[in-house]
């Protein structure tokens, strides 16, 4: 699930913190990196559990209305399509889901008002009205309902963004990326999938974890040499005038260029320019693009840049 886009962002954040921290220990930084990536995976399950919890709130509402002193015909015979949604049922009964949520204490218990408000918005939406009126009643229509709800309502919910930000500092920059993973999960889910295929694994394979650790530790251990390479091409700039985040991103980018021959040069440059645009100043992208391009030309000339 955790892709290299998220890994690069997290490495930049850890390296930035490392340079600002008096207790600069490479092993501690590596442990922080792994922990932060695990927190991203928690967010993935937390967002999936939101669908389960909203459904549970609706199921409780139906039960309460049935027990009214003077229940209406609708209270006695409610439309159960939403309450018995097959997609949510499949997710909620998964042993992997149950164990992960319990083990990591991923609870919405303190956010009941938010759940109720979200439920109301869902019930008032055209997506819900179309879903209820649709004569087709199968797993695919149930899954498609939640895909639309998640994409059009939940992903656009600023209140949810604030709630998640308060929950964990590690989730601040992850929400948009992790939401895309949840959507991917919804799209691919079907009843024929094996239990261990319902959810995305934390890493596609161990190469991604190795890549993350190596990118971080190589950057930190070679910071003097990396700074020398960069300084050659920033002669018109005093080092102190280069923003710390800009310097961090350039060091990580040069590390990736030199350390991972299977990653094309243009991929590395494009990925880190995108990070600069999101995390540094408006002028930094053009500046860093020029510096990295000059470094690439120099490394090629010196025969130090070998790519598979």
pLDDT tens profile 197-236: 999 999 988 899 999 999 999 999 999 999 999 988 876 6
- How far apart are the C-alpha atoms of 173 and 237, rounded to whole Å? 30
In terms of domains, do 23 and 169 share one?
yes
Answer whether residue 20 is part of any domain: yes
208 domain residue, yes or no: no
Provide the number of structural domains found in the chain: 2
Asked if residues 185 and 213 have their Cβ atoms less than 8 Å apart, the reply is no
Same-domain pairing of 287 and 146 = no
DSSP line for 126-146: HHHHHHHH-S--SHHHHHHHH
* CATH, residue 252: 1.10.940.10
Instruction: Say yes or no: 68 and 134 in one domain.
Output: yes
One domain, residues 158 and 243: no
Enter the tokens of residue 287.
């500046």
Comparing C-alpha atoms, which of 50, 52, 74 is closest to residue 62? 74
Indicate if the pLDDT at residue 68 is higher than 90: no
Does 87 share its domain with 141? yes
Q: What percent of the chain has pLDDT over 70?
A: 93
Could you tell me the residue range of the domain that residue 104 belongs to?
A: 4-197
Q: Compute the distance between CA of residue 220 and CA of residue 92 in angstroms, rounded to an integer.
A: 42
Percent of the chain beyond pLDDT 90? 77
73 with 193, same domain?
yes
- Look at 156 and 169; give whichever has higher pLDDT: 156
Backbone dihedral region for residue 254 (phi beyond 0: left; psi -120 to 50: alpha; all else: beta): alpha
Average pLDDT score over residue span 100-125: 96
Same domain (yes/no): 42, 108: yes
Per-residue pLDDT of 225-255, as tens digits, reads 999 999 888 766 555 556 889 999 999 999 9
Closest CA to 198 of 45, 59, 71, 42: 45
């Amino acid at each position: 699930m955790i892709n290299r886009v998220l890994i690069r962002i997290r490495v930049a954040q850890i390296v930035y913190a490392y340079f600002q921290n008096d207790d600069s220990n490479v092993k501690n930084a590596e442990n922080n990196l792994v922990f932060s990536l695990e927190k991203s995976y928690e967010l993935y399950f937390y967002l999936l559990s939101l669908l389960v919890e909203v459904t549970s709130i609706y199921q409780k509402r139906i039960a309460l209305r049935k027990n009214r002193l003077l229940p209406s015909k609708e209270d006695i015979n409610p439309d159960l399509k939403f309450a018995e949604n097959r997609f949510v049922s499949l997710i909620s009964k998964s042993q992997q889901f149950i164990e992960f949520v319990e083990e990591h204490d991923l609870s919405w218990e303190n956010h009941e008002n938010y759940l109720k408000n979200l439920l109301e918005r869902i019930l008032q939406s055209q997506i819900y009205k179309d879903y209820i009126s649709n004569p087709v009643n199968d797993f695919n229509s149930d899954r498609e309902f939640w895909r639309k709800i998640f994409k059009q309502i939940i992903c656009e919910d600023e209140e949810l963004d604030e709630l998640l930000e308060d929950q964990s500092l590690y989730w601040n920059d992850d929400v948009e990326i992790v939401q895309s993973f949840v959507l991917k999960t919804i799209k691919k889910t079907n009843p024929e999938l094996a239990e261990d295929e319902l959810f995305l694994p934390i890493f596609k394979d161990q190469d991604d974890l190795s890549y993350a650790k190596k990118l971080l530790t190589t950057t930190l251990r070679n910071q003097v040499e990396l700074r020398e390479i960069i300084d050659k091409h920033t002669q018109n700039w005093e080092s102190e005038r280069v923003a710390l985040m800009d310097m961090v991103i350039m060091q990580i980018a040069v590390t990736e260029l030199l350390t991972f021959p299977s990653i094309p040069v243009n991929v590395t440059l494009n990925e880190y320019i995108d990070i600069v645009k999101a995390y540094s100043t408006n002028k930094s992208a053009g500046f860093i693009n020029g510096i990295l391009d000059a470094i690439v030309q120099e490394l090629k000339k010196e025969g130090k840049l070998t790519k598979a």
